[in-house]
Amino acid sequence: MSRSHRLFDLLQNLRRHRGVVSGAVLAAEADVSLRTIRRDIALLQAMGADIDAQAGVGYVLRPGFLLPPLSFTEEELHALVVGAQWVARQPDAALAHAIRNALAKIDGVLAPEMRSALDDSSFYVGNGTRRSAEGLDMEQCRRALREQRKMKIAYREGDAVSERVVWPIMLGLAEADRSVAAWCETSGAYVVFRSDHVVRADVLEERYRRNRRQMVKEWRASPEHPCTRANA
């Protein structure tokens, strides 16, 4: 592997870890010595990368550093194509439009010899069964997730419809099924709401103060999480 590619991969690894990561972990991931990692980190810092080195702790790449444009591998492009096909076939027009725009931007910066991989027709992703119109607007739900806003929903269970204020923390996409995991103020617990049972949903101005990512971790460790129940 050339040094330029090794430096690029090192930046990618630092970005992927997000928080502080030890030099030993970076060395193991790159299959190089710890001494090489230290030299490469010093070189990246000299090139302008905002990498904070904490003696005896590790390294962290500060937000805002943009990676230089480098070509994708053919395998990476195939992965993007499969993922894009799946997203484009979901009943979420805004997300499908966004993935088409993203692929067009990638195509615009690819080397000519790599564009055939992006247009590869070796993969087929099925549509699945489309559900009828639902009361949960996925675009609005994504906005609530990004901005940590509460939602007020009318939820149908059997013949009864109840109104709840929820804190959405994660969307679930499984085949044709859509759901949203949320902290429910009414029940005082994490609940997974099926989108086809949502009669109406409104994004509220009020934000919930807890960190959404931390709440996801808490939910995954709780008895309410589907995986926890399945392994019980």
The model's pLDDT over 126-147, given as tens digits with 9 standing for 90+, comes to 665 555 446 788 888 888 998 9
How many angstroms separate the CA atoms of 43 and 198, rounded? Answer: 54
C-beta of residue 196 within 8 angstroms of C-beta of residue 134: yes
User: Are 11 and 61 contacting, i.e. CB atoms less than 8 angstroms apart?
Assistant: yes
What is residue 134's predicted lDDT score, i.e. its pLDDT? Answer: 65
Query: Residue 148: what residue type?
Result: Q
Report the predicted TM-score, pTM, of the whole model to 2 decimal places: 0.56
Closest CA to 7 of 56, 59, 45: 45
Q: What is the pLDDT of residue 204?
A: 95
pLDDT at 132 (0 to 100): 46
Tell me which residues of the chain have a pLDDT lower than 50.
Answer: 132-133, 228-232
